[in-house]
């Protein structure tokens, strides 16, 4: 399905790294979205995700964040605007980007290994081949020993890791994550988030993460888009601004305790209004 082409493009993009004129891995151009085809929920938003970059989209509950991800993943068609993957128009066609929904959505009737293999099985890869490809990754995703377990036997944090592994095994070039840690308790959430950030760096993931947690957004992303508006009260959401987070300037130690973190957080909160 053109996976080779995408891989080549990814190579080219990271080769020419950080050049300002680069084609972004994912780009939304002036998307206008609605829930029912009439009322506008999101008004002409534009955003980009560069190759190997983790970007957060932060906004209040009910401001249309999930609606945006549904459109970016191709599940729904925007009223107007375009979604581009490496410059190629993928508006309204699913299957091009990996999408991790809010819940882990593991199939209760399949063992963990078959759950993570699902994207491969659906594209017609034989079961043995898919399993062979997934098996070596279990260790890396902190899931060693869970291969033959049923989802009901795993804790929430482990299930989330399995869901992330399944998302990774979709093999798409860009990953969308919808509040990936919101179902976890506070302590597990910090743990899994930290683990996720390490994995994202290690895998060179290009990801767009949506969250309503400002701390989470600032600690994860190199850029934060702030979404403002109240669609349920007739005021469509729009991008109120973009905040850059300089992780490198903060140096060693807990990023959440640095002045860089606080100033970025203040900026985001101001934009949220």
Partner 1 sequence: MSCQQDTPRNAAAPRAGASRARRVLTPLLTVAGLLVVWELVVDLGIIPNFLLPTPVQVVQALVSDFSLIVSHAATTLVETAIGLLIGVALGFAIAVLMDRFEGFYLALQPLVTISQTIPTIAIAPLLVLWFGYGLAPKVILIVITTFFPITVSLISGFRSVDPDVIDLMRTMNASRWQIFRYAKLPAAADQFFSGLRISATYAIVGAVIAEWLGGNSGLGVYMTRVRKSFSYDRMFAVIIVISALSLGLMKLVDLLQRVCMPWKRAEGNKR
Q: Which residues bind partner 1 (CB under 8 A)?
A: 70, 73-75, 94-95, 97-99, 101-103, 105, 107-110, 118-119, 122-123, 149-153, 155, 170
**Rounded-to-integer distance, Cα 60 and Cα 229, Å:** 8
In DSSP terms, which residues pair with 23 in a beta bridge? none
- Distance set, CA 184 to CA 41, 66, 101, 188, 192 (Å): 28, 18, 14, 6, 9
Give me the least distance between CB of 152 and partner 1, in Å please.
4
By beta-carbon proximity to partner 1, the closer residue of 24 and 74 is 74
By beta-carbon proximity to partner 1, the closer residue of 77 and 103 is 103
3-state secondary structure of 25: coil
Give me the least distance between CB of 238 and partner 1, in Å please.
25
The DSSP 8-state label assigned to residue 23 in this structure reads P
By beta-carbon proximity to partner 1, the closer residue of 207 and 224 is 207
Give me the least distance between CB of 162 and partner 1, in Å please.
13
Are 42 and 31 in contact by the 8 Å Cβ rule? The answer is: yes
Pair of tokens at residue 198 = 């390490």
Give me the least distance between CB of 155 and partner 1, in Å please.
6
Of 227, 266, 261, 226, nearest in space to 245 by CA: 261
By beta-carbon proximity to partner 1, the closer residue of 182 and 263 is 182
By beta-carbon proximity to partner 1, the closer residue of 175 and 219 is 175
Give me the least distance between CB of 70 and partner 1, in Å please.
7
Are 30 and 91 in contact by the 8 Å Cβ rule? The answer is: no
10 Å Cβ neighbour count for 63?
Answer: 26
Give me the least distance between CB of 166 and partner 1, in Å please.
9
3-state secondary structure of 58: strand
By beta-carbon proximity to partner 1, the closer residue of 92 and 204 is 92
Distance of CA 25 to the CA centre of its chain: 13
């Amino acid at each position: 399905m053109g996976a080779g082409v995408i891989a080549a493009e990814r190579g080219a993009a990271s080769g020419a790294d950080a050049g300002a004129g680069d084609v972004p891995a994912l780009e939304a151009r002036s998307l206008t979205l609605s829930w029912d085809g009439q009322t506008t929920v999101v008004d002409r938003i534009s955003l980009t995700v560069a190759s190997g970059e983790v970007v957060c989209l932060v906004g209040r509950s009910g401001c249309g964040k999930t609606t945006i991800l549904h459109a970016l993943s191709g599940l729904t068609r925007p009223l107007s605007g375009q979604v581009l993957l490496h410059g190629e128009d993928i508006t309204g066609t699913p299957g091009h980007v990996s999408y991790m929904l809010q819940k882990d959505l593991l199939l209760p009737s399949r063992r963990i290994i078959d759950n993570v293999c699902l994207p491969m099985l659906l594209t017609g890869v034989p079961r043995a081949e898919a399993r062979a490809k997934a098996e070596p990754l279990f260790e890396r995703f902190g899931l060693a020993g869970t291969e033959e377990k049923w989802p009901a036997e795993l804790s929430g944090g482990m299930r989330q890791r399995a869901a992330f592994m399944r998302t990774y095994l979709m093999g798409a070039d860009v990953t969308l994550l919808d509040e990936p840690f919101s179902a976890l308790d506070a302590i597990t959430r910090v743990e899994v988030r930290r683990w996720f950030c390490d994995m994202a760096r290690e895998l060179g993931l290009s990801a767009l993460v949506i969250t309503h947690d400002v701390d989470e957004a600032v600690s994860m992303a190199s850029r934060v888009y702030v979404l403002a508006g109240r669609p349920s009260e007739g005021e469509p959401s729009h991008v109120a601004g973009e905040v850059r987070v300089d992780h490198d300037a903060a140096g060693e130690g807990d990023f959440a305790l640095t002045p860089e973190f606080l100033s970025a957080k203040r900026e985001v909160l101001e934009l949220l209004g």
